[in-house]
Amino acid sequence: MTEVRVIENQRHFGFGLLEVSRRLELLWMLAQRQIASRYRQMLLGVVWAALEPLGQLLMLTLVFGFLLKVDTAGYPYPLFAFAGLTGWWLFSRNLMAVAGSLQDNMSLISKVYFPRLILPLAASVKELFDIAVMVGLLLIVSAIYGYLPDFKVVVLVPLLLSAGLLSLGIGLWLASLMVRFRDIRPMLGLILQAGMYATPILYSPSLVPERFQFAYQLNPMYWVIELSRWALLDKPVVIAAPFYWSLGVSAMILASGLLVFSATEKIAVDVQ
């Protein structure tokens, strides 16, 4: 007796992870496709992946390190900035990719059914792959400056993963909202830029006045970046109450993002 598939208006919604687990092969192939198409069509594929961040790092070092002479408590500026930027790049790129994943793949989702959550997940896998290239670069730069990585660098893995999950959570919210309100997309770049300055990436968090520190540290990305620096440069960091708060907030964003996404992906095709 073969299985009967029933198609009707479903009102229940959940995280949608069980469905995805049945189609892991598709998830992997979609991620692979994105990675392959990025690196294959360009002659210097992997080189570009390294050149772009290095170029940006050079410019930021010139402006903030040499001209403005930002206080980094003695750490060489390029390394200080790079350690912070790695986590932020993952966060911002993944956020953009996840937020746009439904719309960018409209031609696909309007023609064939598969668990829609696979699309943002595939985007995240691709961004994680890109960031792995970046981390390799970071370790080289760090060694050049005499900071030989020790066992602590393994902390980077859970740190980057949590940055990825947080941006996935926010991205899922945005992807859901963008189904109806496309106005969000142009605003996103601006918001991300603001987020970059609200996080201690290009400057040291000690610049922020003491009375704002609690609120400042509620930003989950604060912890990702400060802990990255701890792992790489041995920069001291004090785990305070906001750390636990931000963990809780991140988990809630991710969970609610999954729920909202599973509710709105059902109408995404209808309102394209």
Binding residues vs another protein (CB under 8 A):
1-10, 23, 25-26, 29, 33, 36-37, 40-41, 107-114, 180-181, 266-267, 269-271
Of the pair 36, 187, the CB lying nearest another protein is at 36
Cβ-contact 30, 119 below 8 angstroms: yes
Angle of helix 118-144 relative to helix 220-233, nearest 10 degrees, comes to 40
- Those residues with Cβ within 8 angstroms of residue 83's Cβ, 6 or more apart along the chain or in another chain: 138, 142, 225, 228, 229, 232, 233
Least separation, in Å, of the C-beta of 38 and another protein? 9
Of the pair 79, 118, the CB lying nearest another protein is at 118
Look at residues 251, 81, 100, 82 and name the one whose alpha carbon lies nearest to residue 172.
100
Of the pair 23, 185, the CB lying nearest another protein is at 23
The tokens describing 35, both together, are 């990675």
Least separation, in Å, of the C-beta of 263 and another protein? 9
Least separation, in Å, of the C-beta of 16 and another protein? 14
Of the pair 10, 193, the CB lying nearest another protein is at 10
The tokens describing 106, both together, are 């409209």
Of the pair 42, 240, the CB lying nearest another protein is at 42
Least separation, in Å, of the C-beta of 170 and another protein? 19
Least separation, in Å, of the C-beta of 130 and another protein? 17
In the 3-class helix/strand/coil scheme, how is 33-89 assigned residue by residue? HHHHHHHHCCCCHHHHHHHHHHHHHHHHHHHHHHHCCCCCCCCCHHHHHHHHHHHHH
Of the pair 36, 239, the CB lying nearest another protein is at 36
Least separation, in Å, of the C-beta of 126 and another protein? 14
CA 131 remoteness from chain centre: 9
Q: Give the C-alpha separation, 142 to 148, whole Å.
A: 7
